[in-house]
Amino acid sequence: MIAPEGKSHVDISGVDLELFQRGAGEPLLFLHGGSGPERGSQFLDALAQQYRVVAPSHPGFGRSSLPESFDKVDDLAYFYLDLIDALDLDRVVLVGHSFGGWIAAEMAVRCCHRLSKLVLIGPIGIKVGGRETRDIADVFAVSAAELNRLRFHDPTSMREPDLTTLSDDELALIARNSESLALFMWEPYAHNPKLRQLLHRITVPTLLVWGESDGIVSPAYGAAYRDAIPGARLEVIAAAGHLPHVEQPDVCLEKVRGFLVEQQEDHQ
């Protein structure tokens, strides 16, 4: 199945999936973070100049349906492996941010054979510290202002959307994204206790990108992620928080492109 360029809906494994596609070339599947689908970002637009960027809204996010049976990140991981097969994406570059990075890691430990490279930007999903150390900030237990402070190196530079300009439908999407995120990551909070011990199964070249000022998951957590994935590299980006590809898109693109090209050359 080939979905057309731009925004479309495809029916895969019982999900009415909202899918954005741009560009041509080697396929690149981008899995968005917990705050919702990412559209028209400088980061994705730039990648679309070299890749066929496939950016779905996760089941339960944006305008993608949520099957009643879905309630674990495993469900999303298997679903996206189905999507790769259904769209016949071969040697796909898998890029995931935060919650989407967790999904990407869960996919890669299950099945790498259709992946060419893995890029994880500030992923959550593993347990690093002890039982009294919460590795990942509790985004459901902090105020909106505190959450912004945790997410950005410079919260003042990031404009939150003006809710008064949004339609009821758009506001409902924000609430729905938040509800679905809670469904998938409430407990164990934002991680799968077994994932870290499975990361050794990842056989594709892997890059981890981390904001130096990430208040949701620290660069030290990123180092633990790197150490668990064979041959993985960690790039820490200065003056960036939990969304380095949004806060420092140029530096982030340079690191990601550098990694993808280098791996390309290695492959050839």
Partner 1 sequence: MRFWHFTEMPYPYLPEPESYDSVRVTLPNQIYDPLIGSDLYNRYLDELMLADGLGFDIMTNEHHQTPTCMDAACPLVLAILARQTKRARLLALGNPIANRRDPLRLAEEMAMIDNISRGRLECGFVRGVPTEIAPANSNPVRMPERMWEAHDLILKAWTTHDGPFSWEGRYFHYRNVNVWPRTYQQPHPPIWISASTTGSVGEVAERGYVLAIFLSGFKDARGFFDVYRQRYAQRPAVAASKASGNGRAAEPKVAAPDRFAYLALTCVGETDEIGLQGVRKIMWYMQTNKVAPQFRNPPGYSTLATNVRAMRGGGLPTLRPVGQMTAEQLIDRGVIFAGNPDSVYQQIKRFSDETGGLGNLIIMGQGGFLSHEETVSNLTLFAKEVAPRLKELPGTV
List the structure tokens of 42: 């400088």
Q: Reading across the β-sheet that carries 26-31, which strands appear in turn?
A: 6-12, 15-22, 51-56, 26-31, 92-97, 115-121, 206-211, 233-237
**Per CB under 8 A, does 140 bind partner 1?**
yes
Assign 51 to helix, strand or coil: strand
Stretch 36-75: interaction string toward partner 1, x if CB under 8 A: -----------------------------------x----
- Cα distances from 3 to residues 8, 53, 55, 57, 112, in angstroms, run 7, 12, 12, 14, 23
181 near partner 1 (CB under 8 A): yes
By CB under 8 A, which span of 20-28, 101-109, 112-120, 163-171 interacts with partner 1?
163-171
Query: Pairing state of beta strands 26-31 and 233-237?
Result: unpaired
Stretch that binds partner 1, among 123-131, 165-173, 198-206, 209-217 (CB under 8 A): 165-173
The region of 114-122, 148-156, 183-191, 199-207 touching partner 1 under the rule CB under 8 A is 183-191
Contact 153, 242 (CB under 8 A): no
168-185 and 99-110 helices cross at what angle (nearest 10)?
A: 50
Out of 24, 171, 220, 238, point to the residue binding partner 1 (CB under 8 A).
171
Of the residues 178, 203, 263, 264, which one makes contact with partner 1 according to CB under 8 A: 178
Q: Binding partner 1 by CB under 8 A: which of 42, 90, 129, 186?
A: 186
Stretch of residues binding partner 1 (CB under 8 A), selected from 18-26, 76-84, 172-180, 228-236: 172-180
If binding is defined by CB under 8 A, does position 183 make contact with partner 1? Answer: yes
* Residues in CB range of 24: below 8 A, 6 or more apart: 52
Between residue 187 and residue 246, which ones bind partner 1 under the rule CB under 8 A? 187
Cβ–Cβ < 8 Å for 185, 178: no
Does residue 115 interact with partner 1 by CB under 8 A? Answer: no
Binding site for partner 1 (CB under 8 A): 71, 140-144, 163, 168, 171-172, 174-176, 178-183, 186-187
